[in-house]
Amino acid sequence: MSIEVLHLSKSFGSSQAINDLSFELKMGQITGFLGPNGAGKSTTLKILMGLEIPSSGEAKILGMDVQKQGVPIKKQVGYLAENNPLYPEMYIKEFLTFIGKIHGISSSKLTRRMAEVIELVGLEREQKKKIKEISKGYQQRVGLAQAILHDPKILILDEPTSGLDPNQMEEIRSLIVALKKDKTILFSSHLLGEVNAICDHVLLIDKGELKANCAIEEAQKFPGGLEAFFKSKTN
């Protein structure tokens, strides 16, 4: 399994963010992590990345415990946070060089890999600009570029199309699908159309609890389609 979550819970004071979550994800799938705003999606992804400590339960990525083996996990996982933290004063290539060095990529390999990634995410015409000089859509591409620079086996993306216009959203969706061929992708979204368009599998949570874990076809065949499926699980 690429990701295993076993009875995971997280509370912040008296607020229960996630409650007894358990699921497994196979390699080579795009899984949509679906739920209303505030359902617990970002908290779960942060735990998977070792950025939050669970109150109880455990999570594993490629068989490694996320709380005990954070460093080797980060070598195999690419992460795009919801707010896409970038350094706006940096040039795009300067930023990607910085990220590459953090991952320990050798200088000779990094030059080649940066060129590959810049082409893959469609940043060729923007690559000599500062990050603050490009649109939010292109900034999302920079975020994806840094997430895949070290060629991880797994991508975890938190609301990757948040705040984008329809054209930008479609471009990022197409890019995610293109990345699927050799990666497992887990991405959170509250947009049903996005999940419907590109996912193989669906995890649906509401109020911190898992409400559905199924192939996208099962959700699509629900009477009334994916929207009705979503409403039936979150009411």
pLDDT in 10s for each residue of the chain, 235 residues: 689 999 999 999 899 999 999 999 988 889 999 988 889 999 999 999 999 999 999 999 999 999 999 889 988 999 998 888 899 999 999 999 999 999 999 998 999 999 999 998 889 999 999 999 999 889 999 999 999 999 999 999 988 887 788 888 888 888 888 888 788 999 988 888 888 888 999 999 999 999 999 999 999 999 988 889 988 988 7
Sequence-ordered alpha helix ranges (H) in the chain: 41-48, 70-74, 92-102, 107-120, 136-148, 166-179, 192-198, 216-220, 225-234
CB atoms within 10 A of CB 109: 10
Fold of domain 3-234: Rossmann fold (3.40.50)
Residues 22, 27, 32, 33, CA torsion sign = positive
pTM recorded for the entire structure: 0.90
Structure tokens at 231: 């409403």
Apex CA 165: angle with CA 160 and CA 169, to 5°?
A: 40
Q: Which residues contact 145 (CB under 8 A, 6 or more apart)?
A: 92, 96, 117, 118, 120, 121, 123
Give backbone dihedrals phi and psi of 158, rounded to 5 degrees, phi first.
-105, 105
* Gap between the Cα atoms of 196 and 205, Å rounded: 16
Residues 151, 154, 158, 160, CA torsion sign = positive
Side-chain-side CA neighbours of 22 within 13 Å: the count stands at: 5
